[in-house]
Amino acid sequence: MLDTPRLRRRELSARAVVDQAAITTAVQRRLSGVQLTTRIDDPEFQVPADPALITQALAGAIDALSAFVDEPGAAITVTVHCVKTRPAMIIELAQRVVSVEPELMGQFFDVGSTVHPGGASTAVLLAAAARIVRAHGGRADVRRDDPVGCTVTFVLPQSMARLDA
């Protein structure tokens, strides 16, 4: 967490990114009873990314949201939008079970936050995920959803240049 990760980039398809994260989180999701649904608008769209780190980031975020919902039958939805006009892969992870207080939004990716619904470990997982995505030149955001839930968004650029904020 303290060092900038050394990236070993290669071209990864949207399908590969989602599939690896799903495989990595399968046991934890099965034990907790949390379902994962996925939608990818262009499965072959590619971004240059470090496969191990991106898998760790996405899997960590899925695990964090699973800890939020923590009830059998709950679902996390992973949606990937591939934007060709401003080439980027937009990965959204949504949970519609737990309400997230407005004051948490500013601390969502803060490793020191103690107010996460899933506990302190979710803060670490989400902070690490955001740091990995930013190291790839991307962005990490979160928004509250009405009436309940939240969506975590990771944006990975298709080029090596950093995305504008």
pLDDT in tens, 41-63: 999 999 999 999 999 999 999 99
The verdict on pTM exceeding 0.85 is: yes
Tell which residue, 76, 66, 52, 37, has the closest CA to residue 126.
66
**Domain extents in the chain:** 10-157
pLDDT in tens, 25-39: 999 888 888 899 999
Q: How far apart are CA 43 and CA 114, in angstroms?
A: 37
Residue 148 CB neighbours (<10 A): 12
With a cut of 50, say whether residue 120 has pLDDT above it.
Answer: yes
What is the per-residue pLDDT for 162?
44
Over residues 4-27, mean pLDDT:
90
Element at 128 (helix H, strand E)? helix 120-135
Residue 87 backbone phi and psi in degrees, to 5? -50, 110
Tell which residue, 106, 89, 29, 103, has the closest CA to residue 64.
29
Task: Kindly state which CATH superfamily the domain 10-157 is placed in.
Answer: Histidine kinase-like ATPase, C-terminal domain (3.30.565.10)
pLDDT in tens, 64-108: 888 888 777 888 999 999 988 879 999 999 998 888 777 777 778
Element at 144 (helix H, strand E)? strand 139-144
Mean pLDDT, the chain, integer = 86
| Chain-centre distance for alpha carbon 63 | 9
With a cut of 60, say whether residue 1 has pLDDT above it.
Answer: no
